[in-house]
Structure 1
Amino acid sequence: MTSATLVTAFRDRWIAADRAGRLALADDTQQLDYPALHAAVGGLAGRLRAAGVRRGDRVALALPRSARMAVALLATMAAGACPCPLEPRLGPEETQRRYRLARLGWTLLEAGQADDPSLAHVPPERRLDLDALPEAAPHWDDGLGPDDASFLLFTSGSSGKPKGVLQNHRGMWANASGVIAHTALGPADRLLVVMPLYHTNGVNNQLLAPLLAGASVHLAARFRADEMPALMARVRPTIFTGVPTMYSRMLGERFDADALAGLRLLRCGSAPITEELHRRIEAHFGRALVNSYGLSEATCTSTINPPLRRKIGSVGTPLAGQSVFLQAADGSRVDGPGREGEVCVAGPVLMSGYLVEDGDGEPQSPGEVLHSGDLGRFDEDGYLFITGRLKDVIIRGGENLSPKLIEEALVEVPGVADCCVVGRADADLGEVPVAFVVRRPGAEAVQPAALSAAVAARLSRIHQPADYRFVDALPENAVGKVDRKRLAQQLAAGG
């Protein structure tokens, strides 16, 4: 693996002759071509250095989502430091916990955020106002090594308090290179980005990889389904990435065919998608949907469906430069198609480690192999299929049940928009499955009998949910994943 970093690659490539005048980064208020982006990032990096930021420092970015925020993130990396974007509306208690856990030394903000109560604990001398930094010469840190910290983010917290994940330059380089090769990402591509910039997908796959490949990135201010037709018409992207809930909400919107004419790739990731929803999305947009799989702990993406050879239900094939394999409960490797095991990842994409509560701010290494906690199987062509979560398995009378299999049966019922199956304690059987079901508008006739019949047609008797709860919507966490833990807590509390 080369010792090059994205910082040195950006420094050299963005001012290459073939990028002169080509759009690099935009939002609804500004556009930067590649030479302008080079000047903006290098210039801000120099001013950050003049303000006291040094290699290895961890810098909180308390900035509104915009091209300016993206420049600040890139400039923090170019200064040799490690950016940590903060989620909006995080709250004082969680914000302070993250500062303690991550040993965040600086906070980059705008003048209008001076009175943000979440940042009241940050000393004035550790606040850096983007508009009041000292003038300085541009800077690009060419001494960064592969193991140096490059990006700090926090998991969605679906299984407890959000964990601090420290990524490194080796992983970022490997991920970007793998995504570019697997998806043929290049200068002709325009990405419309609605994913958050405190999320690994939004940063690694939709900002860093495109800017390495010479593509252009348009950052939308937010995601609202009813605004997407106009946004697609204005940006005319070749690539759009969303999570299943985003796509589901866009199914009710009408998109002009001309706005989608250049769209070559719809990507879906960050959460499981049912085959039924997958097919509805493809029919609605008239484009193939490419599903992918990855974890923040492995930088971002480990498998993607090849764009011209996607398989519905699969998350694709492994990216070059990393190893994705299955492991049995006894630690042995699972070989051969159709056999289930825990999905494991090895190679240069692995994180430096988790930050430990009450620790010294240094990462706890994952070792040479990352255990995902996801169950999966490979088919005869090497495509990975995710079959469930180890921790989500419902143990009914000693039998392991996959919630995902039950959910796949339920969403095939006409009138079912979405569902989530979780376990409920049972005095006799230990656990039983309970299904939370969202009906489509006007589908009140969908009743438990029809749902039970659908499960019985596909699965054994032990998979039958003990109860059905009809809800208006399923709870989601900050990145749009169904919050399975919250539903389980609701059941445990008698709700």
Structure 2
Amino acid sequence: MAESISGRLRAAMARYASAGLTAITIPETVGYGALRDTIDAYAAGFHAWGVARGMTVGVIAPKSLAGIAAYFGAMQAGACACFLEPGLAPEALAEQAEVVGMRHLVVDETLIERFTVPALAALAIKPLAAVRGEGAYVDEALGPQDNAMLLFTSGSTGRPKGVLLRHGALICNAEGVLSHTGTSPEDRLLHVMPLHHTNGVNNQLIVPFLAGASLILADRFKPEIAIEHLRRDGPTYMTGVPTIYARMLPHLTDGERFPNLKFLRCGSAPITPALHEQIEAAFGVPLVVSYGLSEATCTSTMNPPKARKIGTIGTVLAGQELRLFNPVTDAPAPEGGEGEIRITGPALMAGYLGSTDQPIVDGWLRTGDLGRFDADGFLAITGRIKDVIIRGGENISPALIERQLATHPAIRDCCVVGAPDADLGEVPVAFVVLREGESLDEAGLKDFIRGSLARIYVPAQIRSLDILPTNGVGKTDRKSLRSLLAA
């Protein structure tokens, strides 16, 4: 079992248990021995439930020992584990489950009533406590090519699709991040990001557990609470998106310093050099910017904590290969020139579930992002081919909002684009063409979207146009709409 991420974690936890190390300090103190035993017990419970290798198991839980242990227990039993968003509507969860063939779901006792509904009748659902078994179960035959983790993304189509990751991909990502950051048992991570986000699991559970570090688990991000943890509990590092740090700034005392804090990590969304410098000045430590996609497990480039370069996303992690290509001709970009970022290596996903889309061509993941290397091998993002809007680190599909708006009786045509936002990085703005005789009711349209989609999908603005601009092939010209916003 040594070449599965489950085997790596179990062996590491045994070593750290022998050394008396603590895995979780808040909200409760959990030693590495207790964590390992709880994962073993959940693995035994899943095995007794009939969960076998290759099956997909969903987990809905807050950040807790039980939720984390159930997740890794399912993986250790051979299942493909998936943290699901606790705020998901049951109908949306049913669609995700159908797309990926998920048949088993475990839910924290405090949330289970919301998911015991007819829409989820096709799922076998149990509360967390009912799944925990006795003793231990380990699928010893697990290897790098077995499925380990499932993540959901909507991409540019607005429909759910599963990103399928194998054990070898998780190992590759973890080794690269450990090498770049030097995480060790002396480290303590303040964990504020959601577990259904790839970073929340891969870099903020797997990496610190492999390193023997300890975790402070903050179930939901609130700037005041995060700062109180920094003041009181002595984390050595924290990971977030630009919006998280921007929202913490007003709550900091001028000149305040946190003696144990070594650096802050940042990714999942673009950050301006001005905000980067502001965050470093306020916290008094380096802000380490990284870059990655769920389709390549999590992280592909990262700034070294002791040698970061503002305005870049860092250098390529060990075990991965990243090159720039002309997105039209597929020719390699000239040295120092701009090109589409493409990634290859063991960290790539096995593929999408529920989609015929295939961004991996000839072994290379086409990211849709444009970049340029400097002479020292640091990569900078120069633009984005794709239209996905990144709001505070969360990917928003314009098509999902457009699909909903198009069902409103007053709307004849619509297009949603991202607009720069000082707090969130980007926010959606909708341009609509109204039917004859209709007038723009912006508040009413926002309420209409809010009735079916999560709060993050509600456009910051809705503007009316007589006609949407089109390009040479008749497609809506999103670039022109962005220019209109800029003007």
Q: Same fold (TM over 0.5)?
A: yes
1:139 aligned to 137, 140, 143, which one? 137
Residue 15 of structure 1 aligns to a residue in which SS? Answer: helix
Are 1:91 and 1:118, in contact at CA under 8 Å, matched by a contact in 2? no
CA distance in 1, matches of 2:378, 2:218: 32
Q: Is the 8 A contact 2:266 2:287 kept in 1?
A: yes
Q: How does 1:329-340 map to 2 (within 5 A)?
A: 329-337=328-336, 339-340=337-338
The CA deviation at 1:70 is: 1.3
Alignment size in residue pairs: 417
**1:235 is matched with which residue?**
233
* Counterparts in 2 of 1:311 and 1:106: CA distance versus 1, 3 Å: same
What does 1:98-137 align with in structure 2 at a 5 Å threshold? 98-117=96-115, 119-123=117-121, 126-133=124-131, 135-137=133-135
In 1: Cα distance, 2:13 partner to 2:254 partner: 34
Q: Report the Cα distance in structure 1 between the residues aligned to 2:109 and 2:361, rounded to whole angstroms.
A: 39
Deviation at 1:126, TM superposition (A): 1.3
Residues 1:382 and 2:377 are matched in the alignment: yes
Match of 2:275?
A: 277
- Supply the distance in 1 between the matched residues of 2:418 and 2:57 (Cα, whole angstroms): 43
Task: Report the 3-state secondary structure (helix = DSSP H, G, I; strand = E; otherwise coil) of the residue aligned with 2:113.
Answer: coil
1:336 partner letter: E
Q: Does the C-alpha gap of structure 1 residues 156 and 263 become closer, same or farther in structure 2, counting only changes over 3 Å?
A: farther
Q: Of 79, 82, 95, which residue of structure 2 is paired with 1:81?
A: 79
Counterpart of 1:23, as a letter, is: T
Is the 1:194–1:220 contact (alpha carbons within 8 Å) kept by the matching residues of 2? yes
* Percent sequence identity over aligned pairs: 41
Q: How does 1:264-413 map to 2 (within 5 A)?
A: 264-328=262-326, 329-337=328-336, 339-357=337-355, 367-392=362-387
The alpha-carbon distance between structure 1 residues 164 and 335, as it changes in their structure 2 partners (threshold 3 A), is same
Structure 1: unaligned runs, 5 residues or longer: 394-402, 405-421, 423-430, 441-474
Displacement of 1:162 in angstroms is 3.7
Single out whichever of 194-203 and 90-99 deviates more from structure 2. Answer: 90-99
> Aligned partners of 1:138 and 1:439: how far apart in 2?
47
Q: Is residue 2:5 matched to residue 1:10?
A: no
Summarize the Cα distance change of 1:135–1:210 in structure 2 as closer, same or farther, 3 Å threshold: closer
SS where residue 42 of structure 2 aligns? helix
SS of equivalent to 1:252: helix
Q: TM-score by structure 2 length? A: 0.78
C-alpha contact (below 8 Å) 2:239/2:266 kept by paired residues:
yes
Q: Secondary structure at the match of 1:83?
A: strand
User: How far does residue 227 in structure 1 lie from its aligned partner after superposition?
Assistant: 1.8
The Cα shift of 1:489 comes to 7.4
Kindly indicate whether the alpha-carbon contact (under 8 Å) linking 1:20 and 1:34 is maintained by their aligned counterparts in 2: no
Change (3 A) 1:370 1:15: same
Q: Which amino acid aligns with 2:331?
A: S
**1:146 alignment partner AA:** P
Return closer, same or farther for 1:170/1:491 CA change in 2, 3 Å cut-off: farther
Superposition TM-score, scaled by structure 1 size: 0.76
1:343-387 per-residue CA deviation (whole Å, 9 max, x = no partner) reads 000000000111125x8xx99966511000000000111100001
Residue identity in the other structure for 1:368: G
Distance 2:372 2:123 in 1: 53
CA distance in 1, matches of 2:422, 2:364: 38
* Farther-moved stretch of structure 1 (362-371 vs 164-173): 362-371
In 2: Cα distance, 1:275 partner to 1:61 partner: 38
Alpha-carbon distance in structure 2 between the residues aligned to 1:491 and 1:22: 60
With 220-229 and 345-354 compared, the bigger mean Cα shift is at 220-229
RMSD value, Cα: 3.5
For residue 37 of structure 2, the aligned residue among 27, 34, 39 is: 39
Partner of 1:450: none
Q: Are the structure 2 counterparts of residues 148 and 321 from structure 1 closer, same or farther at C-alpha, using a change threshold of 3 Å?
A: same
Deviates further, 290-299 or 154-163: 154-163
